[in-house]
Amino acid sequence: MCSGSATETKPAGREQLYVDEALDGLRTARALRNYKVRMTSHQTMMIRMFIGRCRRLALGGLTLLAVVSTSVSADAYSLPDMGSSSDSMMTRSAEARLGKLFMRSVRSALPVMDDPLATSYIESLGTALVESDRTAGGSFTFFLIDEPVVNAFAGPGGYIGIYAGLILAAQTESELAAVMAHEIAHVTQRHLMRSFEDQSKLSLPTTALLIAAAILGAQVSPDAGMAAIAGVQAAALQRQINFTRDNEKEADRIGIQTLAGAGHDPFAMAGFFERLAKATRVYESSAPEFLRTHPVTADRIADSLGRAEGFGARQRADSLRFQLTRAKLRERSYRRAEQSVAHFEDTLGGGRFREEIAERYGYALALQRARRFTDAKRESDTLIAAHPSQAEFIVLDAELDLALGKGTEALAHLKQAVSLFPSQWPLRVAYADALMSAGEPARALDELKAVARVRPANALLYEMIVQAATKAGDQADVDRYRAEKLYVEGDLEPAIRQLEMALRRRNVPYHDAAQIQVRLDAWREEGREEKKRGGNPLRAAPLSAR
């Protein structure tokens, strides 16, 4: 724990103000940590991360902007549009660099879920929403956090994280889409940039305390957050509260338009908010994380209902992929396989399910994890007979064939599936896995590298490439893709060293060496810039108050 004063050499002038602000934030964080509040591991991690960043701010003289922009919180960030007043603070290239830094921070601190099938589903749902929003410029990346938290967040560069707990809490696909549309709106409406503009009108000490409260209060408890800002001027505090409420209201409005445009039920947003609010009134001590970061009031629910009425009610059946993804996440939520098996046997036996085929899929996954492969295969055969082209069932059936020693059948089925559905990259990943099991690592390596070219930044995929390259005896690829895995997990310096090792290998093909060199140069530049800017890639574009 860092003390309230720093004995290290301090920078002079304006940077000294940044040091003082960081120390103020650190003292606030320490005070919050002493509150007797029951916290999840995620919330505890958030406080530790914030304290660590405050310490680095104090020692390095960084700007407070770095605390906000790199913090893994559920606050809204944005992509600036050309011609907006926000452009004076952040260029597109700077925002893209920040997005990469943000995602590396997320991967280093949170359990990002790289499961191909679940990731593919959330990407397809998010892409459909973005395509229905005419204001959605730039690129978006949707990813899953494997924690039972009911929340979602948007980051710079269009990165949008969805917690597994949110998918399980959503009773319909439209409810899940509603939250995602809300986060997309935070991005398209430039809320982070507008927030910075608003904050620039406040004094620096006030801004420091408000940001500490926003980051920590939202992640720990409302009481702790209010305690952190008890000494802040009432007018400044009310101004920030109003600005946040305006952002949430605008995100709701745009989100409902996006939701309806994509063919989902526009009433789903208000319905989901209302159900969470009711649950909070019943279980006050365990309010969903979503309500802490997205406060819901009766007025907000009423406003959402009023806007939805302008589009009219729409009945939309949930997609099978939504139900299958929920079943997979439900199965993963049990620590022990026996517990998962018992759960699905109970729900199937009692008829307590929404979609029987999805429930049986979850049961088959539970049996697979319990190593009851014959029983799981019996369920899988039923599933694939009913839906022979469903990727989830094809992959499960192949995995069970491999477990039962039927590698030839698994390879044949996956090869056929890949030829029929070449755009479904999870099938290609499963096919590569079967090739490795069949003793053909070189073919598996080629298949996986082809997927990686169109599916970058997937840690699980890079790990599979490393395994295939190891079995194929391709040490240069081992070094290269181990470096890629380190990079996406947030370890820049080890990634650079690993890539340097790859270049030193003998007999690296010229084309591969050239690609490695380009990647290495980019990472070195990124590392130099982080050191030069004290870890903050946006210091060249400061707040207008400076």
Asked if residue 248 belongs to a known ligand binding site, the reply is yes
What are 253's two structure tokens?
């409005």
Mean pLDDT of 399-409: 97
Task: List the single range of 53-62, 124-133, 337-346, 508-517 with lowest mean pLDDT.
Answer: 53-62
Query: Amino acid identity of 332?
Result: R
Is the Cα torsion angle 101, 102, 103, 108 positive or negative in sign? positive
What pLDDT was estimated at residue 66? 33
Query: Which of 90 and 349 is assigned the larger pLDDT?
Result: 349
Q: What is the pLDDT of residues 179-227, one digit of tens each?
A: 999 999 988 886 765 665 455 554 433 444 443 444 333 333 444 444 4
pLDDT at 292: 61
Per-residue model confidence (pLDDT) at position 201? 52
pLDDT at 535 over 60: no
- 254-267 pLDDT, tens digit per residue, is 999 999 999 999 99
> According to the model, what pLDDT value does residue 222 have?
40
Of 529, 462, 451, 452, the residue nearest 495 (C-alpha) = 462
Taking the CA of residue 73 as centre, how many other CA atoms within 13 Å lie in the half-sphere pointing to its CB? 28
Least trusted range by pLDDT, from 146-155, 242-251, 501-510, 526-535: 526-535
Q: In sequence order, which residues have a C-beta less than 8 Å from that of residue 527 and are 6 or more positions away?
A: 492, 493, 496
The CA-based angle 131-134-138, given to 5 degrees, is 70
SS3 state of residue 153 = strand
The residue among 242 and 474 whose pLDDT is bigger is 474
Asked if pLDDT for residue 228 goes beyond 50, the answer is no
Is 493 part of the annotated catalytic residue set? no
Q: Which two tokens stand for residue 467?
A: 């395994």
Beta carbons within 8 Å of 412's beta carbon, 6+ residues apart: none
Structure confidence at residue 489 (pLDDT):
82
pLDDT at residue 229 is higher than 90: no
Q: How far is CA 95 from the centre of its chain?
A: 17
Q: What percent of the chain has pLDDT over 70?
A: 66
pLDDT score recorded for residue 258: 94
Q: Does residue 134 have a pLDDT over 90?
A: no
C-alpha to C-alpha distances, 455 to 420, 432, 448, 512, 521, nearest whole angstrom: 20, 15, 10, 18, 21
State the catalytic residue, choosing from 146, 147, 183, 484. 183
Decide if pLDDT at 321 tops 90: yes
CA angle 460, 462, 465 (to 5 degrees): 115
The more confident residue out of 419 and 47 is 419
Cα end-to-end span (Å), the chain? 30
The answer for residues whose C-beta is within 8 angstroms of residue 507's C-beta and 6 or more apart is 476
56 pLDDT higher than 70: no
pLDDT at 456: 79
pLDDT at 80 over 80: no
- For 415-443, what is the mean pLDDT? 96
109 CB contacts (<8 Å, ≥6 apart)? 45, 49, 72, 490
- Of 453, 120, 165, residue with least CA distance to 291: 165
Q: Is 42 annotated as a binding residue?
A: no
182 has binding-site annotation = yes
**pLDDT attached to residue 314:** 81
Taking only the tens place, the pLDDT of each residue in 433-461 is 999 999 999 999 999 999 999 887 888 99
Collapsed DSSP state (helix, strand, coil) of residue 411: helix
183 given a catalytic annotation = yes
Q: Number of H helices and number of E strands within the chain?
A: 27, 4
Least confident of 285-289, 408-412, 452-456: 285-289
What does the mean pLDDT of the chain come to? Answer: 76
In tens, the pLDDT along 61-71 reads: 333 333 333 33
Cα Rg for the chain, rounded, in angstroms? 25
Strands 159-163 and 152-155: antiparallel
- What's the pLDDT band for 138 if we cut at 50, 70, 90? confident
pLDDT recorded at residue 486: 92
The residue type found at 392 is: E
Could you tell me which residue, 186 or 364, shows the higher pLDDT?
364
Q: Are 165 and 144 in contact (CB under 8 A)?
A: no
| 284 confidence band (pLDDT: 50, 70, 90) | low
Q: Is the distance from CB of 229 to CB of 213 less than 8 angstroms?
A: yes
Q: Does the pLDDT of residue 519 top 50, yes or no?
A: yes
Beta strands at 112-113 and 141-145: parallel, antiparallel or unpaired: antiparallel
Sorting pLDDT into bands at 50, 70 and 90, what band is 488?
Answer: confident
Catalytic hit among 252, 265, 359, 477: 252
